[in-house]
Structure 1
C-alpha cells in the first residue's frame, strides 16, 4: 500500500482541524429590569425540552423550540432530527454558556453534548451558536449553526445508517449498507488484532464514521478537504484521554478508502484502531515517528509484508543515496512537503518500531511507548525511555536505525 494511502491521526490539542472550539459569548445587555442571567435560564429551559424530545424520538417536541415563522429552519431541523433515527443515543443535552440579548432577540453560545450507547463513557461536545427571538413569554430558536471553529456533525450531512458489529459501530451517510457491513467486518477483525499486539487496557470497541465524500469528511474535521486528499482515514481523539474522555472516532475518507485493496484496508483500519487503543498513553511527549510508526507496525504485524513491500518510497530514497540522517520529525508528517515525504516519514517510523520489536521484543516496544507517553513534555522523554527500555541514547538508537534502514532497503 502506498504511503500516502495510510491513515492519519488527528489529536485534539495537537491538530487544530479536530478541535471542537466553543465560542464563549459573555452576558450582554438585557431588557430593562431583567436580571442578566434570566435570559440564559429561559433559553436553557427551552433547550432542555428540545433535548428530552431527542431521547424520546419526539419530532414535534424537538421542533417546538423552533420559531413557527422560520419555515426554512423548521424544515432543515426536521430533516436533521430524522437523520438521527438510527444513532443509538443514550444522552443528549445542551449547556448554555453565555447569551447576548438585544431586546427581543438574542445570540447564545451553547454546548451540545451527546453520548452514543455502549461506546462513549463521557459526552462528546460540539459548540453551537443559536439565535433566538422572544415571542410572548418564551424564546424560540431562529438560527442554529456551528460555533466558530467547530466541525459539522455527521447527521447534518444526511440520514445516518447504523451497522452494529461485534466490536464496532459504523455510522454512514450516503453509503450503501453493504459497504458499511464490509467496513464493520474489517473493523471487527482489526480490534482483536490490535488487542493481540497492544498489552495495555482499552475499550476494545470502535465507532467508525463514513461520510459521503472527501469534502464531507473534511467538514466533520473542520478542515480543508485538501488536507486529507489521499488519506484513507483519520482518528479523532483526546491525547492522554482516560476513562472520562469520549470514545475516539475513526473517520473514513470514502474516496481514498475505495481505491485500496483488501490488504490496504486491513492495514488502514488496524492502524487507526491502534490509535484508539493507545490514546490514553499518547501525550504531547510522544513523537509522531513513534505514534504513527507503532500504529503502522501493528497494522503490518500479521501481514507478512517485507520491508521493501511496505516502504517503497523510503527504499527509492535509500537506493538513490539519500539515506535519512535522522528519525522523521513531526513536521515530516505534515502535508506541505508532498506525498513522497509523508510516505517516507510513515515508513521510517514503521521501520524504527519494527527494529525495536525484532531486537528488544514487542513488550519492550510497548513499554517504550507507554513510558514516553507518561511524560508531560517532549524534552527529555525519549532520552529517559530509550535508556530505560533499550539501553541506548537517542543518538545511538538513531545510528542503529539508519544501519537497519540501509540493510533492509539498500
Structure 2
C-alpha cells in the first residue's frame, strides 16, 4: 500500500516479490527533522504549578525505575486504586519485558534498555479534565488534586545487554492522568480517563508510535554484525523466525555493505511479530493494510545535525514464519538496504529506484533464471507486453497483479543496469539521483551516472528483457 501516513510520517509500502512467496517486503517513507535548539520564552510556574510538577515528576522517576527493573509490585504501588484495570495490565506487560527470570524459551532473555525515563512534557492549550465518573471516584477516595498532562518517555534500546544496538534516544509522547492524596501522587490512567478539550472537527488522531514492550512476551537476543551488536526482539510463536534471523543477519549486513559500502551503522534492530496486531501497532498502520507484508522498515525521525536515523526498526510480520531461510534472507537484505540508505533517500525519490535497488541487493545470487525472480513480468514480456516506461509510484499501491509487475519491473531495471554497466554504476546512479532535488534534476543525475538519459535506458532495458525471457 502507498502513503499510509501516521504521526511520525511513516508509510508502509508493500513489496511483492517472487522470493517472498505469498508475502511481501515493505519500507517507510522519509521524515526529516532536526534537533536544532528552538528559542522560546516560558512564564515561570507559580508555586502551586511547581509543586504539582515536582510531585508528578518524582512519581514518573519511580515509574521509570520500576518498569526498567521489571518490578511489578513496584508498579502496583504507584497506580491509583481508581485506575482502570487495563492500566495495571499495560504497565505489568511493560515491566515484564525487562523482568529477569521469566521464561522466554529459545528466543532470548529480557530486554535491557540503555535508557528509559518518563518526564513531564511542556504543555499548551486548554487543560484536560477527568471524565466525571473517574473524578467522582478519586474525590470519594479523598484526592486533593488531579492533573492530566502530556508525558514523554525517552529511551534507547539495548538488547539482551547494553549497549546492545547502541541507538540514539527515541522520544514517545502520551497523555497521563494523576491524582494527589496529601503529599503522594498516584498514576490514574491515560488519555482515556479524561475529556479531550480539542475540537472534534480535527478528525481522529493518527496511530501513535509505541515501544516494543507494549505487547506481551517480549524477548531480546543479540547477534554480532559488522557494526557491533544487532538486536532481535520477538514475541511468542516466533522461535523459528528468530533462529533463522540470527543466522542470517551477519551475512545480510555484509552483503549490503559489499554493495553500498560501510558508511552506515552496519547493525540494526529487528522485531519479529507473532500476530497482525503486533505488526500493525509497531508499524503504525491498520491490520487490514498489512495482511500481505513480510516486513516493514520504520523510524521515528531523522536528526540532520547528527546525521542519524532515530528509532529505525525492521519489523517482521507473522507472514515471515512461512518463509524459507533463503527467502527470509532476501527480505532482510532488502530491508537492511533501506536502513543503509535512509539518510540519503528523500521522500521524493521514485519507488522504481528506492524499491528496485534494495530488491536487486536482496535477491542477488538467489535465482537461476529471470523467470524465477520475476514470474509475472516474464509472462508480460513473453506476451509481447513490454513495459513502456519505468513504473510510477501509484503502480506500487496495492497487492495486485499490476503491483507485482511494478515491483518486478523495478528489480529488473536495477538488474539490467548492473548487468550492462556494472554494480558500481548502479550504486552511483542511486547515490546521484537521491542527492538531487526535483524530478528533472534526478533525470539529469541518472544520465550523468550511467551515460544515457532515461528514454535511452528504457529502450535498452526493453531489449534486455526480451533476451532474458527468450
| Of 362, 365, 370, the match for 2:426 | 365
1:205 & 1:329 partners in 2: Cα distance?
A: 31
Conserved 8 A contact 1:281-1:369: no
1:101 & 1:180 partners in 2: Cα distance?
A: 43
Q: How far 1:232 sits from its partner (Å)? A: 1.0
Conserved 8 A contact 1:11-1:237: no
1:155 aligns with 2:213: yes
- Deviation track 1:146-201 (CA, whole Å, cap 9, x = no partner) reads 98520443222102111222223211111354542222112232111111121251
1:123-134, aligned counterparts within 5 Å? 123-134=169-180
Q: How far 1:388 sits from its partner (Å)? A: 1.7
SS of 1:235's equivalent in the other structure is: strand
- State the superposition RMSD in angstroms: 2.8
Conserved 8 A contact 1:9-1:234: yes
User: Which residue in the other structure is 1:9 paired with?
Assistant: 27
SS of 1:109's equivalent in the other structure is: strand
User: Which residue in the other structure is 1:287 paired with?
Assistant: 350
**Which sits farther off after the overlay, 44-53 or 312-321?**
44-53
User: Which residue in the other structure is 1:18 paired with?
Assistant: none
Conserved 8 A contact 1:161-1:177: no
**Which sits farther off after the overlay, 242-251 or 187-196?**
242-251
1:109 aligns with 2:142: no
User: Which residue in the other structure is 2:57 paired with?
Assistant: 44
Residues 395, 41 of structure 1: CA spacing in aligned structure 2 closer, same or farther, 3 A cutoff? farther
2:327 & 2:288 partners in 1: Cα distance?
A: 21
1:398-409, aligned counterparts within 5 Å? 398-409=458-469
**Which sits farther off after the overlay, 36-45 or 135-144?**
36-45
1:148 & 1:84 partners in 2: Cα distance?
A: 28
User: Which residue in the other structure is 1:316 paired with?
Assistant: 379
1:6-405, aligned counterparts within 5 Å? 6-13=24-31, 39-70=52-83, 72=85, 73-85=87-99, 86-95=110-119, 96-98=121-123, 100=127, 102=129, 104-117=145-158, 118-144=164-190, 149-167=207-225, 168-175=230-237, 177-237=239-299, 243-254=307-318, 256-335=319-398, 338-375=399-436, 377-405=437-465
2:302 & 2:156 partners in 1: Cα distance?
A: 19
SS of 1:188's equivalent in the other structure is: helix
1:12 & 1:40 partners in 2: Cα distance?
A: 36
1:233 & 1:188 partners in 2: Cα distance?
A: 18
1:275 & 1:245 partners in 2: Cα distance?
A: 11
SS of 1:93's equivalent in the other structure is: strand
2:404 & 2:207 partners in 1: Cα distance?
A: 29
Q: How far 1:310 sits from its partner (Å)? A: 0.3
User: Which residue in the other structure is 2:103 paired with?
Assistant: none
Q: How far 1:35 sits from its partner (Å)? A: 5.6
Residues 138, 243 of structure 1: CA spacing in aligned structure 2 closer, same or farther, 3 A cutoff? farther
- Deviation track 1:51-71 (CA, whole Å, cap 9, x = no partner) reads 234445544444444224437
SS of 2:237's equivalent in the other structure is: coil
Residues 291, 238 of structure 1: CA spacing in aligned structure 2 closer, same or farther, 3 A cutoff? farther
Q: How far 1:223 sits from its partner (Å)? A: 1.0
Conserved 8 A contact 1:271-1:296: yes
- Deviation track 1:214-251 (CA, whole Å, cap 9, x = no partner) reads 23211212211222212111111367666433252111
**Which sits farther off after the overlay, 156-165 or 394-403?**
394-403
Instruction: Return the TM-score normalized by structure 2.
Output: 0.75
Residues 178, 232 of structure 1: CA spacing in aligned structure 2 closer, same or farther, 3 A cutoff? closer
Q: How far 1:101 sits from its partner (Å)? A: 5.2
Residues 342, 39 of structure 1: CA spacing in aligned structure 2 closer, same or farther, 3 A cutoff? farther
Q: How far 1:305 sits from its partner (Å)? A: 3.6
Residues 196, 219 of structure 1: CA spacing in aligned structure 2 closer, same or farther, 3 A cutoff? same
Q: For structure 1, which runs of at least 5 residues remain unmatched after alignment?
A: 15-26
Residues 220, 306 of structure 1: CA spacing in aligned structure 2 closer, same or farther, 3 A cutoff? same
Q: How far 1:389 sits from its partner (Å)? A: 0.7
SS of 1:9's equivalent in the other structure is: coil
